[in-house]
Chain A
């Protein structure tokens, strides 16, 4: 069901570093998972609304109130790289 090209594309979209040698393995594993879930297609679910939330609640909203934020120090404390109060990542050149 899934081929190597699909895996390559999915890995790119999910930002996962998958080695070329692993493509075959993941293609067959993913095919297995999907065919397992596909059993659901045996049920006629035409009249069933999809469930996006389980609580049934609506309109639980925030009333536009400002609450204290984290300090700059706290906000950055788990950053791998930082400089002058900014998070830092390797350069993005295509801009």
Chain B
């Protein structure tokens, strides 16, 4: 039997959280708003309306490009991507094709076997979101509040060979969006959407397959993973039977746990891209300023937590999972220094205790750790209980002590220390034993 290797590429769409839309002054904060209450002639595609480019969105797109190690174009343009669909009021989407803002980047990921893989980024470009369709009893209802919301598309090269790599990459990109504060990147709300393209080639073959199947409209990491796995199996079975697979788009049916045909792929040139004459070209002028404004990114913090605080890769990764947690950790560490609490202790406490950091302060965490570490020492009543237990467990030593062999107290103190993992104050323990045996 032939062995096959999956070739997977990923497209990520993310909505920016700018105040206004990409090409008009309507609010981009459409979630939960009355349908068609955030629209204007521009985002409804009414004749004669003239779009303006949102400078903040352009800056956010460049930030994403920089964070993904891309080259940033000096000159960039918008083009019209022409197709008809009810969610697209103008009959075209304003997007970028020949002059994208960012190209040729990469992201390094590490899989569960600690293998490092470089995923190349083909491009990061700026476009606009479409309206939202809902299908009910034979009609389609359209809400254009989302129409024209700034959308950034990140296109990877087909560098993934396993589903796990796709998942790790997508999560890492999501984390970057959040650290950059350009988007909530909430999959459930649809701020962030994934599209995968998958094909198989025979192991050892170096050319890319002639077809690719696109998986679209999948709104969770888990479903995307399941859909890719299903698709790999499906394609393998077809290829083993000697069948040819054609280029097309599929969706995911979560109830049946299978992919299904959505539409035959439109060839790229069918979109008839051409420069949008209503929009002026962009000249990127303040690149160094934007570069300097980038916050510390997860990857840099991951390294810093390991080198500065001696945390393990695993611990650092958990802390880095949220920007807020990093700040919390560092605040707690600096408070802990005075109390001789190590950074590793703070990290362990945050990780193992599963503390709800929204409810406690770094100060409280430090005092809890201090109590846990030294609580038994200062807490005589708690120690008394331990000593009582030890007395019960060691009748021979107790008898010896009572018969005048005072030195045997060392055996009992040692037993208490073992039980408390050496956290007890030996002096207090000794006093307690004398007291309880007198």
Q: In the complex, what residue of chain B is closest to A91 when comparing beta carbons?
A: B138
Measured CB to CB, the closest approach of chain A to B349, in angstroms, equals: 41
The stretch of B105-113, B151-159, B230-238, B270-278 in contact with A is B270-278
Residues of A within 8 A of B283 (CB): 58-59
A87 engages B54 (CB within 8 Å): no
Q: How many residues of B contact A (CB 8 A)?
A: 52
A62 engages B53 (CB within 8 Å): yes
Measured CB to CB, the closest approach of chain B to A53, in angstroms, equals: 6
Q: Which of A13, A57, A61, A89 has the most CB of B within 10 A?
A: A61
The stretch of A24-32, A37-45, A63-71 in contact with B is A63-71
B20 engages A62 (CB within 8 Å): yes
Contact with A along B32-52 (1 / 0, CB 8 A): 001111111100100000001
- B290 lies within 8 A of chain A by Cβ: no
A95 engages B25 (CB within 8 Å): no
| Bound: A78/B68 CA distance, A | 44
A60 engages B52 (CB within 8 Å): yes
| Bound: A60/B52 CA distance, A | 7
Q: In the complex, what residue of chain A is closest to B77 when comparing beta carbons?
A: A52
| Bound: A60/B84 CA distance, A | 29
Q: Do A91 and B135 form a contact, CB below 8 Å, given A52-B77, A69-B40?
A: yes
Residues of A within 8 A of B20 (CB): 62, 64-67
Q: Do A72 and B35 form a contact, CB below 8 Å, given A13-B82, A66-B27?
A: yes
Contact with A along B138-168 (1 / 0, CB 8 A): 1111111000000000000000000000000
Q: Do A88 and B140 form a contact, CB below 8 Å, given A71-B37, A76-B36?
A: yes
| Bound: A69/B28 CA distance, A | 11
Q: In the complex, what residue of chain A is closest to B272 when comparing beta carbons?
A: A13
Q: Do A92 and B86 form a contact, CB below 8 Å, given A85-B34, A86-B36?
A: yes
Measured CB to CB, the closest approach of chain B to A68, in angstroms, equals: 8
- B188 lies within 8 A of chain A by Cβ: no
Q: Which of B18, B140, B251 has the most CB of A within 10 A?
A: B140
- B102 lies within 8 A of chain A by Cβ: no
- B346 lies within 8 A of chain A by Cβ: no
Contact with B along A73-92 (1 / 0, CB 8 A): 00110000101111111111
B84 engages A15 (CB within 8 Å): yes
A-contacting residues, B327-377, CB 8 Å: none
| Bound: A68/B37 CA distance, A | 10
Residues of A within 8 A of B84 (CB): 15
Residues of A within 8 A of B251 (CB): 95
The stretch of B55-63, B121-129, B294-302 in contact with A is B55-63
| Bound: A72/B284 CA distance, A | 37
Measured CB to CB, the closest approach of chain B to A13, in angstroms, equals: 6
A88 engages B280 (CB within 8 Å): no
- A94 lies within 8 A of chain B by Cβ: yes
- B434 lies within 8 A of chain A by Cβ: no
| Bound: A63/B53 CA distance, A | 8
Of A58, A75, A81, A87, which one neighbours B281 at CB under 8 angstroms? A58
Q: Do A66 and B34 form a contact, CB below 8 Å, given A89-B86, A92-B133, A95-B262?
A: no
- B19 lies within 8 A of chain A by Cβ: yes
Of A59, A63, A84, A85, which one neighbours B280 at CB under 8 angstroms? A59
Residues of A within 8 A of B91 (CB): 15
Residues of B within 8 A of A95 (CB): 133, 135, 217, 251, 262
Q: Which of B20, B82, B144 has the most CB of A within 10 A?
A: B20
Residues of B within 8 A of A58 (CB): 280-283
B36 engages A85 (CB within 8 Å): yes
B19 engages A13 (CB within 8 Å): no
Q: Do A86 and B143 form a contact, CB below 8 Å, given A62-B53, A66-B26, A92-B135?
A: yes
- A35 lies within 8 A of chain B by Cβ: no
Residues of A within 8 A of B53 (CB): 60-62
- A46 lies within 8 A of chain B by Cβ: no
B138 engages A52 (CB within 8 Å): no
Q: What are 14 A-B pairs with beta-carbon distances under 8 A?
A: A13-B272, A52-B275, A62-B53, A63-B54, A67-B26, A70-B44, A83-B141, A84-B35, A87-B142, A87-B143, A88-B139, A89-B86, A90-B140, A92-B133
Q: Which residues of B contact A (CB under 8 A)?
A: 18-20, 23-27, 34-41, 44, 52-58, 77, 82, 84, 86, 91, 133-135, 138-144, 217, 251, 262-263, 270, 272, 275, 277, 280-283, 285
Q: Which residues of A contact B (CB under 8 A)?
A: 13, 15, 52-53, 55, 57-72, 75-76, 81, 83-92, 94-95
